[in-house]
Amino acid sequence: MTYDFLIIGGGIAGISAAARLAPLGRVLVLEAEDSLAHHASGRSAALYEPHYGAPAVVELSMASGDFFRAAGNVLSPRGLMLVAREDQKQDFDHDMKAMDFAPISLDEALSIIPILNPGVVRMAAHAGHAEDIDTDLLLQGFARAARAHGAQILTRARVEGITRTPNGWHLRHAGGEAEARILVNAAGAWVDRVAAMAGIAPIGFTPLRRSMARIPAPAGLEVSRWPMLFGPGEEWYMKPDAGALIVSPAEEDPVEAPHDAWADDMVLAEGLARYEEFVTAPVTRILANWAGLRTFSPDRVLVIGPDRHDPAFFWLAGQGGYGFQSAPGASQLAADLIAGRAPALPPALVAALAPARFA
C-alpha cells in the first residue's frame, strides 16, 4: 500500500501529526506496542504549564493554548505551589521568576496544602495558570480526527526495515509492508534508531528516566483541589491524581538504550524522602510505581522539520517532558512545513525548532 505520509510512533506526537496530515493525503501510523501511548505519552504528569522549559519550548506551549481552550474539557484547574527551606532561597527565587510564581505566606500555603511542615518550609509561592490535561481525551480526540479523514493507525507494527526509494520510502513492519512519500519520525526514545535504519544521520537524542510512585492520600483529607507541589530546582514533585497522590524524584538519569522503562527503587526512595521532609504526613506505603523515558535533543528543545540532507525524512522528536502541552502547536507546525505552507509560528521559533540547527 502506498501512502503520502507514514508516521512512526503512536504517542501524542505521532497521533496529533496524523490528525493534522490526514486532510492532506493518505496517512499510515505505525506503533510498535499493543496500544497507543504505551511509553512516555502514557506516563505523563499530564500538566499544561506553558512557562515550563527552554524559551522555545515555552513559546511553542503558549502557541498551543488556543487549541486547548477550544477543545473543551481537555483542561481543568490545578495550579502550582513551590516550597523551599531557608537554604534553598537561590533556587526558589530562580524558579519563582522562571515559572511566573507569586510569593505567598506560610499561613496561606498551609491553608491550601495543610500537610506542609512549618518547621521546614520557609518560603512558598503559588501560580494559578497550570492546568491538568485529560491526556486520554486529547489523544483519542486526535486519533478520531485522523481516522475521520481516512488515516490508518496500526498497533503491533514494529518497524523492521526502511529503504529509500526514488519516490520516498519502503518500510517493512511486523504487519506487512508500506510505501510513502514522506516519513515522519515521531518514535520518541527510538528516534535516532529510526533515523539510522533509514540511512539518516542521528541527531544525538538522550532518553532520560523519570520515576513516579502513587501513594495514598493522607487520611481524612480531600486532596483533589490541591495544586501540584514542587521542591526548588525540581528536586521532587507531588500531584493529586484520582484520589491519591503521585510523587516523583524528578530524576533525569540517562539510559544506555531506549526500552520499556521501570522505576529504580533506590532513586524512588530518595525522592520520597525529599518529599517527606516538607510534609507532616509520612509515606507508609506505595500503591504503584512506574517510570518513563523523557527524550531530549542536545539543546533540550523539540526538533521539528525536514532533515537537512533529505527533506523526505521529517523529524518530530525530542518532546522531553513537554509532549502533551506542546502537541497542538508542534503538530500544526509539522503539517504546515510538510504542506509547504507558511507556518503561523514566528520565523525565529521555526528556526529554533528546525533540525538544521545541529548542522
Kindly report the CATH number assigned to the domain that includes residue 94: 3.30.9.10
180: closest CA among 151, 210, 208, 221? Answer: 151
Q: Which domain holds residue 145?
A: 2-46+135-205+298-358
Task: With residue 215 as reference, give the H or E element that holds it.
Answer: strand 206-216
Task: With residue 144 as reference, give the H or E element that holds it.
Answer: helix 135-148
Task: Tell me the CATH number at 143.
Answer: 3.50.50.60
Q: Are residues 150 and 212 in the same domain?
A: no
Q: Are residues 232 and 282 in the same domain?
A: yes
Q: Are residues 150 and 200 in the same domain?
A: yes
pLDDT over threshold 80, residue 41: no
Between CA 173 and CA 197 the distance in angstroms is 12
Q: Are residues 84 and 157 in the same domain?
A: no
pLDDT over threshold 80, residue 124: yes
Q: Are residues 9 and 139 in the same domain?
A: yes
Q: How confident is the model at residue 80 (pLDDT cuts 50, 70, 90)?
A: very high
Q: Are residues 145 and 28 in the same domain?
A: yes
Note whether residue 66 is domain-resident.
Answer: no
The predicted model gives 158-163 an average pLDDT of 98
Of 163-167, 199-203, 254-258, the one with minimum mean pLDDT is 254-258
Query: First-to-last CA distance in the chain?
Result: 34
The predicted model gives 272-292 an average pLDDT of 97
pLDDT over threshold 80, residue 148: yes
State the pLDDT at residue 43: 85
State the pLDDT at residue 306: 98
Looking at every residue in the chain, the average pLDDT score rounds to: 96
State the pLDDT at residue 359: 81
State the pLDDT at residue 178: 98
Of 42-46, 52-56, 290-294, the one with minimum mean pLDDT is 42-46
Note whether residue 67 is domain-resident.
Answer: no
Q: Are residues 152 and 198 in the same domain?
A: yes
- Out of 277, 296, 315, pick the residue that ends a domain: 296
State the pLDDT at residue 226: 98
The predicted model gives 206-231 an average pLDDT of 96
| Share of residues in the chain with pLDDT > 90 (%) | 94
Note whether residue 68 is domain-resident.
Answer: no
State the pLDDT at residue 120: 98
pTM, to two decimals: 0.96
DSSP state of 342: P
Q: How confident is the model at residue 220 (pLDDT cuts 50, 70, 90)?
A: confident
Note whether residue 193 is domain-resident.
Answer: yes
Between CA 332 and CA 29 the distance in angstroms is 17
Q: Are residues 250 and 313 in the same domain?
A: no
The predicted model gives 227-232 an average pLDDT of 96
- By CB neighbour count within 10 A (0-12 exposed, 13-18 middle, 19+ buried), where does 23 fall? middle
- Out of 276, 296, 316, pick the residue that ends a domain: 296
Q: Are residues 237 and 288 in the same domain?
A: yes
Note whether residue 65 is domain-resident.
Answer: no
pLDDT over threshold 90, residue 102: yes
The predicted model gives 318-335 an average pLDDT of 97
Q: Are residues 122 and 251 in the same domain?
A: yes
Q: Please say whether the beta carbons of 319 and 188 come within 8 A.
A: yes
Helical pair 12-21 and 323-339, crossing angle rounded to 10 deg: 40
230: closest CA among 273, 268, 278? Answer: 278
- φ/ψ (deg, to 5) at 317: -145, 170
Note whether residue 75 is domain-resident.
Answer: no
Q: Are residues 255 and 287 in the same domain?
A: yes
CA–CA–CA angle 185, 357, 164 (5° rounding): 35
- φ/ψ (deg, to 5) at 315: -90, 130
Note whether residue 74 is domain-resident.
Answer: no
- Out of 296, 320, 346, pick the residue that ends a domain: 296
Grid cell, residue 214, equals 502513587
pLDDT over threshold 90, residue 256: no
23: closest CA among 191, 145, 120? Answer: 145
Note whether residue 289 is domain-resident.
Answer: yes
pLDDT over threshold 90, residue 49: yes
Number of compact structural domains in the chain: 2
Q: Are residues 141 and 170 in the same domain?
A: yes
